Amino acid sequence: MKMIPEEWSKLSFAYYPTNYNVRCYYRDGKWGNVEISSSENIIMHISATALHYGQEIFEGLKAFRGQDGKIRIFRWQNNWERMNFSARGILVPEVPKEIFEDSITKVITLNKEFIPPYGTGASLYIRPLLIGTGAKLGVAPADEFLFMIFVSPVGPYFPTGFKCVDVKIERNVDRAATLGTGQFKIGGNYAASLVSGRQAYDEGFKMALYLDAKEKKYIDECGPANFFGIKNNTYITPDSSSILQSITNMSLRTLAKEAGLKVEQRKMPVEELSELEEAGACGTAAVITPIKSIHDKEQGKIYTYGNEPGEWSVKLYRKLQSIQFGDESDKYGWITEL
Protein backbone atom coordinates (compact mmCIF):
# COMPACT_ATOMS: atom_id res chain seq x y z
CA MET A 1 0.00 0.00 0.00
CA LYS A 2 1.51 3.30 -1.04
CA MET A 3 0.92 6.84 0.00
CA ILE A 4 -2.04 8.69 -1.36
CA PRO A 5 -1.35 12.26 -2.49
CA GLU A 6 -2.64 14.70 0.06
CA GLU A 7 -2.45 17.64 -2.22
CA TRP A 8 -4.30 16.52 -5.29
CA SER A 9 -4.51 19.96 -6.80
CA LYS A 10 -0.72 20.16 -6.89
CA LEU A 11 -0.32 17.03 -8.99
CA SER A 12 1.53 17.40 -12.26
CA PHE A 13 1.42 15.06 -15.24
CA ALA A 14 3.83 12.47 -13.86
CA TYR A 15 3.88 8.80 -12.94
CA TYR A 16 2.48 8.22 -9.49
CA PRO A 17 2.47 4.66 -8.13
CA THR A 18 -0.88 3.04 -7.46
CA ASN A 19 -1.83 -0.34 -5.98
CA TYR A 20 -2.53 -2.50 -9.00
CA ASN A 21 -2.29 -2.89 -12.76
CA VAL A 22 -3.86 -5.49 -15.03
CA ARG A 23 -2.33 -7.75 -17.65
CA CYS A 24 -3.52 -10.13 -20.31
CA TYR A 25 -1.24 -12.42 -22.34
CA TYR A 26 -1.65 -13.52 -25.94
CA ARG A 27 -0.13 -16.96 -26.50
CA ASP A 28 -0.73 -19.75 -29.00
CA GLY A 29 -2.98 -17.50 -31.05
CA LYS A 30 -5.38 -16.53 -28.29
CA TRP A 31 -5.86 -14.08 -25.45
CA GLY A 32 -5.87 -15.40 -21.88
CA ASN A 33 -7.60 -14.09 -18.76
CA VAL A 34 -7.21 -10.62 -17.31
CA GLU A 35 -4.78 -10.89 -14.40
CA ILE A 36 -4.26 -8.44 -11.55
CA SER A 37 -0.74 -7.51 -10.52
CA SER A 38 0.72 -5.38 -7.76
CA SER A 39 4.16 -5.28 -9.38
CA GLU A 40 5.30 -2.26 -11.36
CA ASN A 41 7.69 -4.44 -13.36
CA ILE A 42 7.32 -6.84 -16.24
CA ILE A 43 9.63 -9.63 -17.17
CA MET A 44 10.34 -9.80 -20.86
CA HIS A 45 12.48 -11.82 -23.22
CA ILE A 46 15.73 -10.09 -24.13
CA SER A 47 14.80 -10.46 -27.81
CA ALA A 48 11.16 -9.32 -27.52
CA THR A 49 9.97 -7.43 -30.62
CA ALA A 50 8.80 -4.50 -28.44
CA LEU A 51 12.44 -3.90 -27.54
CA HIS A 52 13.93 -4.31 -31.00
CA TYR A 53 11.40 -3.68 -33.70
CA GLY A 54 9.02 -1.23 -32.10
CA GLN A 55 5.96 -3.45 -31.63
CA GLU A 56 4.69 -1.12 -28.92
CA ILE A 57 1.31 0.55 -28.84
CA PHE A 58 -0.11 2.69 -26.09
CA GLU A 59 -3.27 4.62 -25.37
CA GLY A 60 -4.23 7.44 -23.04
CA LEU A 61 -7.59 8.25 -21.52
CA LYS A 62 -8.98 9.58 -18.26
CA ALA A 63 -11.48 8.86 -15.51
CA PHE A 64 -12.98 11.71 -13.52
CA ARG A 65 -14.56 11.96 -10.06
CA GLY A 66 -17.76 14.00 -10.12
CA GLN A 67 -19.29 16.24 -7.51
CA ASP A 68 -21.78 13.40 -6.93
CA GLY A 69 -18.85 11.10 -6.11
CA LYS A 70 -19.41 9.02 -9.25
CA ILE A 71 -16.53 7.88 -11.44
CA ARG A 72 -16.83 8.69 -15.14
CA ILE A 73 -14.63 7.24 -17.88
CA PHE A 74 -14.41 9.36 -21.02
CA ARG A 75 -14.94 7.64 -24.41
CA TRP A 76 -13.01 4.44 -23.66
CA GLN A 77 -14.61 2.72 -26.64
CA ASN A 78 -12.81 5.15 -28.97
CA ASN A 79 -9.47 4.39 -27.33
CA TRP A 80 -10.14 0.68 -27.72
CA GLU A 81 -10.93 1.19 -31.42
CA ARG A 82 -7.83 3.33 -31.95
CA MET A 83 -5.61 0.83 -30.15
CA ASN A 84 -6.79 -1.89 -32.52
CA PHE A 85 -6.29 0.46 -35.49
CA SER A 86 -2.68 0.88 -34.33
CA ALA A 87 -2.46 -2.91 -33.82
CA ARG A 88 -3.45 -3.53 -37.45
CA GLY A 89 -0.83 -0.97 -38.45
CA ILE A 90 2.12 -2.84 -36.92
CA LEU A 91 0.97 -6.48 -37.04
CA VAL A 92 -0.12 -6.88 -33.45
CA PRO A 93 -3.24 -8.92 -32.63
CA GLU A 94 -6.31 -6.88 -31.80
CA VAL A 95 -7.62 -6.90 -28.24
CA PRO A 96 -11.27 -8.02 -27.95
CA LYS A 97 -13.63 -5.38 -26.60
CA GLU A 98 -14.62 -7.52 -23.58
CA ILE A 99 -10.98 -7.83 -22.50
CA PHE A 100 -10.40 -4.09 -22.84
CA GLU A 101 -13.60 -3.32 -20.93
CA ASP A 102 -12.91 -5.89 -18.22
CA SER A 103 -9.34 -4.59 -17.83
CA ILE A 104 -10.30 -0.95 -17.60
CA THR A 105 -13.11 -1.64 -15.15
CA LYS A 106 -10.83 -3.76 -12.95
CA VAL A 107 -7.88 -1.38 -12.94
CA ILE A 108 -10.02 1.64 -12.03
CA THR A 109 -12.03 -0.21 -9.41
CA LEU A 110 -8.87 -1.56 -7.78
CA ASN A 111 -7.30 1.89 -7.66
CA LYS A 112 -10.39 3.90 -6.69
CA GLU A 113 -8.59 5.67 -3.88
CA PHE A 114 -6.24 7.23 -6.43
CA ILE A 115 -8.99 9.01 -8.34
CA PRO A 116 -8.56 12.65 -7.37
CA PRO A 117 -11.49 14.30 -5.61
CA TYR A 118 -13.81 16.64 -7.50
CA GLY A 119 -12.73 20.26 -7.46
CA THR A 120 -9.00 19.61 -7.57
CA GLY A 121 -8.83 19.73 -11.37
CA ALA A 122 -6.92 16.43 -11.28
CA SER A 123 -8.05 13.13 -12.81
CA LEU A 124 -6.99 9.52 -13.20
CA TYR A 125 -4.88 8.96 -16.31
CA ILE A 126 -5.33 5.48 -17.76
CA ARG A 127 -2.48 4.05 -19.81
CA PRO A 128 -3.17 0.87 -21.84
CA LEU A 129 -0.12 -0.76 -23.42
CA LEU A 130 0.04 -3.49 -26.05
CA ILE A 131 3.49 -4.92 -26.79
CA GLY A 132 5.21 -7.74 -28.61
CA THR A 133 6.87 -9.98 -25.99
CA GLY A 134 7.75 -12.92 -28.21
CA ALA A 135 11.39 -13.31 -29.23
CA LYS A 136 12.54 -12.66 -32.82
CA LEU A 137 15.94 -11.91 -34.16
CA GLY A 138 15.04 -11.36 -37.81
CA VAL A 139 12.67 -8.46 -38.47
CA ALA A 140 9.23 -10.02 -37.99
CA PRO A 141 6.20 -9.66 -35.73
CA ALA A 142 6.20 -11.58 -32.44
CA ASP A 143 4.09 -14.65 -31.69
CA GLU A 144 3.39 -13.55 -28.13
CA PHE A 145 2.00 -10.28 -26.86
CA LEU A 146 1.07 -8.58 -23.63
CA PHE A 147 -1.78 -6.14 -23.06
CA MET A 148 -1.61 -4.12 -19.84
CA ILE A 149 -3.24 -1.13 -18.22
CA PHE A 150 -1.84 0.96 -15.41
CA VAL A 151 -3.20 4.20 -13.99
CA SER A 152 -1.78 7.31 -12.40
CA PRO A 153 -3.47 10.33 -10.80
CA VAL A 154 -2.47 13.39 -12.79
CA GLY A 155 -2.74 17.15 -12.89
CA PRO A 156 -2.31 19.34 -15.97
CA TYR A 157 0.20 18.34 -18.67
CA PHE A 158 1.81 21.75 -18.49
CA PRO A 159 2.30 22.86 -14.88
CA THR A 160 0.84 26.26 -15.73
CA GLY A 161 -2.58 24.61 -16.33
CA PHE A 162 -5.04 26.37 -18.60
CA LYS A 163 -2.58 29.12 -19.56
CA CYS A 164 -1.28 30.22 -22.93
CA VAL A 165 2.00 28.71 -24.12
CA ASP A 166 4.62 29.53 -26.75
CA VAL A 167 5.14 27.08 -29.59
CA LYS A 168 7.91 26.67 -32.15
CA ILE A 169 7.49 25.55 -35.74
CA GLU A 170 9.91 22.70 -36.39
CA ARG A 171 11.23 22.77 -39.95
CA ASN A 172 14.25 20.49 -39.54
CA VAL A 173 12.66 17.34 -38.18
CA ASP A 174 9.68 15.26 -39.31
CA ARG A 175 7.78 13.49 -36.56
CA ALA A 176 6.17 11.08 -38.99
CA ALA A 177 6.29 10.45 -42.74
CA THR A 178 3.34 11.31 -44.96
CA LEU A 179 2.61 7.64 -45.58
CA GLY A 180 4.25 6.51 -42.35
CA THR A 181 3.02 5.59 -38.89
CA GLY A 182 1.86 8.99 -37.61
CA GLN A 183 -1.77 7.89 -37.30
CA PHE A 184 -0.82 5.04 -34.99
CA LYS A 185 -0.22 5.61 -31.31
CA ILE A 186 3.09 3.79 -31.19
CA GLY A 187 6.30 4.54 -29.30
CA GLY A 188 8.34 5.11 -32.46
CA ASN A 189 6.49 8.34 -33.26
CA TYR A 190 7.33 9.69 -29.83
CA ALA A 191 10.97 8.62 -30.09
CA ALA A 192 11.08 10.59 -33.37
CA SER A 193 9.88 13.70 -31.53
CA LEU A 194 12.19 13.62 -28.51
CA VAL A 195 15.16 15.59 -29.86
CA SER A 196 13.07 18.33 -31.45
CA GLY A 197 10.78 18.44 -28.40
CA ARG A 198 13.75 18.86 -26.06
CA GLN A 199 15.28 21.48 -28.31
CA ALA A 200 12.06 23.45 -28.41
CA TYR A 201 11.84 23.24 -24.63
CA ASP A 202 15.44 24.39 -24.19
CA GLU A 203 14.67 27.38 -26.39
CA GLY A 204 11.76 28.34 -24.14
CA PHE A 205 8.86 26.75 -26.03
CA LYS A 206 6.37 24.25 -24.64
CA MET A 207 5.80 22.35 -27.88
CA ALA A 208 7.16 21.83 -31.37
CA LEU A 209 4.63 22.29 -34.16
CA TYR A 210 5.42 19.84 -36.96
CA LEU A 211 4.66 20.43 -40.62
CA ASP A 212 3.68 17.88 -43.25
CA ALA A 213 6.75 15.83 -44.12
CA LYS A 214 6.34 15.97 -47.90
CA GLU A 215 5.88 19.64 -48.75
CA LYS A 216 6.45 21.44 -45.45
CA LYS A 217 3.43 23.56 -46.34
CA TYR A 218 0.77 22.37 -43.96
CA ILE A 219 0.35 22.12 -40.20
CA ASP A 220 0.57 18.61 -38.83
CA GLU A 221 0.89 17.57 -35.18
CA CYS A 222 1.47 19.87 -32.20
CA GLY A 223 3.76 18.13 -29.70
CA PRO A 224 1.74 15.36 -28.03
CA ALA A 225 -1.53 16.86 -29.26
CA ASN A 226 -3.57 17.93 -32.29
CA PHE A 227 -3.66 21.55 -33.44
CA PHE A 228 -6.76 23.71 -33.88
CA GLY A 229 -7.46 27.32 -34.73
CA ILE A 230 -10.47 29.62 -34.67
CA LYS A 231 -11.26 32.21 -37.30
CA ASN A 232 -14.47 33.78 -38.58
CA ASN A 233 -16.64 31.66 -36.30
CA THR A 234 -14.99 28.52 -37.62
CA TYR A 235 -13.11 25.74 -35.80
CA ILE A 236 -10.35 24.57 -38.11
CA THR A 237 -8.13 21.56 -37.55
CA PRO A 238 -5.62 19.82 -39.85
CA ASP A 239 -6.58 16.82 -41.91
CA SER A 240 -3.40 14.79 -42.35
CA SER A 241 -2.34 11.20 -42.91
CA SER A 242 0.44 11.58 -40.36
CA ILE A 243 -1.36 12.75 -37.22
CA LEU A 244 -3.19 10.90 -34.50
CA GLN A 245 -6.97 10.92 -34.74
CA SER A 246 -7.44 12.70 -31.45
CA ILE A 247 -10.53 11.77 -29.44
CA THR A 248 -10.42 15.15 -27.71
CA ASN A 249 -10.37 16.90 -31.08
CA MET A 250 -13.27 14.73 -32.24
CA SER A 251 -15.21 15.80 -29.13
CA LEU A 252 -14.32 19.48 -29.61
CA ARG A 253 -15.57 19.36 -33.20
CA THR A 254 -18.93 18.11 -31.95
CA LEU A 255 -19.08 20.72 -29.20
CA ALA A 256 -17.95 23.51 -31.52
CA LYS A 257 -20.64 22.65 -34.06
CA GLU A 258 -23.25 22.57 -31.36
CA ALA A 259 -22.12 25.94 -30.03
CA GLY A 260 -22.71 27.47 -33.46
CA LEU A 261 -19.23 27.35 -34.99
CA LYS A 262 -18.56 25.99 -38.44
CA VAL A 263 -16.14 23.10 -38.36
CA GLU A 264 -13.49 22.48 -40.98
CA GLN A 265 -11.11 19.53 -40.96
CA ARG A 266 -8.77 20.16 -43.85
CA LYS A 267 -5.22 20.97 -44.80
CA MET A 268 -4.08 24.08 -42.96
CA PRO A 269 -1.36 26.04 -44.79
CA VAL A 270 1.23 27.55 -42.46
CA GLU A 271 0.38 31.06 -43.72
CA GLU A 272 -3.13 30.63 -42.36
CA LEU A 273 -1.65 31.05 -38.88
CA SER A 274 -1.65 34.79 -39.54
CA GLU A 275 -5.44 34.76 -39.99
CA LEU A 276 -6.35 32.81 -36.84
CA GLU A 277 -8.00 34.60 -33.95
CA GLU A 278 -7.20 31.77 -31.52
CA ALA A 279 -4.90 28.76 -31.63
CA GLY A 280 -4.59 25.75 -29.37
CA ALA A 281 -3.38 22.21 -28.86
CA CYS A 282 -5.81 19.50 -27.79
CA GLY A 283 -5.49 16.02 -26.38
CA THR A 284 -6.27 13.86 -23.36
CA ALA A 285 -3.24 15.07 -21.43
CA ALA A 286 -3.20 18.59 -22.89
CA VAL A 287 -7.05 18.98 -22.72
CA ILE A 288 -7.03 22.39 -24.45
CA THR A 289 -3.73 24.18 -24.16
CA PRO A 290 -4.18 27.66 -25.60
CA ILE A 291 -1.30 29.09 -27.62
CA LYS A 292 -0.11 32.67 -27.29
CA SER A 293 2.57 32.63 -29.94
CA ILE A 294 3.96 30.46 -32.73
CA HIS A 295 7.55 31.16 -33.79
CA ASP A 296 8.67 30.28 -37.30
CA LYS A 297 12.39 31.03 -36.90
CA GLU A 298 13.51 29.95 -40.35
CA GLN A 299 10.92 32.19 -41.98
CA GLY A 300 11.51 35.03 -39.52
CA LYS A 301 7.85 35.14 -38.45
CA ILE A 302 6.03 35.20 -35.14
CA TYR A 303 2.26 34.67 -35.01
CA THR A 304 0.66 35.99 -31.83
CA TYR A 305 -2.74 35.35 -30.28
CA GLY A 306 -2.73 37.28 -27.00
CA ASN A 307 -1.66 36.36 -23.49
CA GLU A 308 -5.06 35.13 -22.32
CA PRO A 309 -7.02 32.16 -23.66
CA GLY A 310 -9.45 33.26 -26.38
CA GLU A 311 -13.23 33.29 -25.97
CA TRP A 312 -13.85 30.05 -27.87
CA SER A 313 -10.97 28.18 -26.29
CA VAL A 314 -12.41 29.03 -22.86
CA LYS A 315 -15.95 28.03 -23.88
CA LEU A 316 -14.88 24.73 -25.39
CA TYR A 317 -12.56 23.91 -22.48
CA ARG A 318 -15.29 24.56 -19.93
CA LYS A 319 -17.89 22.60 -21.88
CA LEU A 320 -15.63 19.57 -22.34
CA GLN A 321 -14.54 19.53 -18.70
CA SER A 322 -18.05 19.94 -17.39
CA ILE A 323 -19.14 16.87 -19.35
CA GLN A 324 -16.08 14.92 -18.21
CA PHE A 325 -16.57 15.79 -14.53
CA GLY A 326 -20.31 15.19 -14.79
CA ASP A 327 -21.38 18.78 -14.07
CA GLU A 328 -23.40 18.59 -17.25
CA SER A 329 -25.36 15.62 -18.44
CA ASP A 330 -23.80 13.59 -21.22
CA LYS A 331 -26.14 13.55 -24.18
CA TYR A 332 -23.44 12.22 -26.47
CA GLY A 333 -22.89 8.78 -24.96
CA TRP A 334 -19.27 9.66 -24.19
CA ILE A 335 -19.32 8.80 -20.49
CA THR A 336 -19.27 5.39 -18.88
CA GLU A 337 -20.16 5.57 -15.21
CA LEU A 338 -18.45 3.03 -13.07
Footprint of ligand COI (CB under 6 A): 60, 224, 283-285
Choose which of 21, 84, 196, 246 interacts with ligand PLP (CB under 6 A). 246
221 binds, among ligand COI, ligand PLP, none (CB under 5 to 8 A by kind): ligand PLP
Can you tell me the distance from the alpha carbon of 63 to that of 245, in angstroms, rounded to the nearest whole number? 20
Query: Per rule CB under 6 A, is residue 50 in the interface with ligand PLP?
Result: no
- 5 or 60, CB closer to ligand COI? 60
Let me know: does 218 contact 267? Beta carbons within 8 Å: yes
Count interface residues toward ligand PLP (CB under 6 A): 12
Binding mask 257-286 for ligand PLP (x = CB under 6 A): --------------------------xx--
| Binding partner at 167 among ligand PLP, ligand COI, none, C-beta below 5 to 8 Å by kind | none
**CB of 95: closest distance to ligand COI in angstroms?**
18
Neighbours of 332 (CB within 10 A): 12
Residues forming beta bridges with residue 146, ordered by sequence position: 25, 131
Binds 55, which of ligand PLP, ligand COI, none (CB < 5 to 8 A, cut-off by type)?
none
- Taking only Cα atoms into account, the Rg of the chain, rounded to an integer number of angstroms, comes to 20
Looking at residues 122 to 181 of the shown chain, list those that interact with ligand PLP (rule: CB under 6 A).
none
Report whether 128 contacts 148 (CB < 8 A). Answer: yes
Q: How far is the CB of 43 from ligand COI (least distance, A)?
A: 25
| Beta strands in 71-119, from DSSP E residues, in sequence order | 71-74
Q: How far is CA 160 from the centre of its chain?
A: 18
**C-beta of 224 vs 309, nearer to ligand COI:** 224
Partner interacting with residue 246 (select from ligand PLP, ligand COI, none; CB below 5-8 Å by kind) = ligand PLP
Q: Residue 171's closest CA among 303, 304, 297?
A: 297
Distance CA 257, CA 264 (A): 10
By beta-carbon proximity to ligand COI, the closer residue of 129 and 256 is 129
Q: Crossing angle of helices 247-258/311-324, nearest 10°? A: 110
Go through 96-135 and write b for each residue having 16 or more CB atoms within 10 A of its CB, e for each that does not.
eeebbbebbbbbbebbeebbbebebbbbbbbbbbbbbbbb
DSSP character string of 194-212: HHHHHHHHHTT-SEEEEE-
Site for ligand PLP in 201-230 (CB under 6 A): 221, 224-226
CB of 137 to ligand COI, least distance (A): 30
Residue 242 interaction partner, one of ligand PLP, ligand COI, none, beta carbon < 5-8 Å per kind? none
- Pick one of ligand PLP, ligand COI, none as the site partner of residue 226 (Cβ within 5 to 8 A by kind): ligand PLP
Which lies closer to ligand COI via its Cβ, residue 132 or residue 283?
A: 283
Residues that bind ligand PLP (CB under 6 A): 60, 221, 224-226, 244, 246-249, 283-284
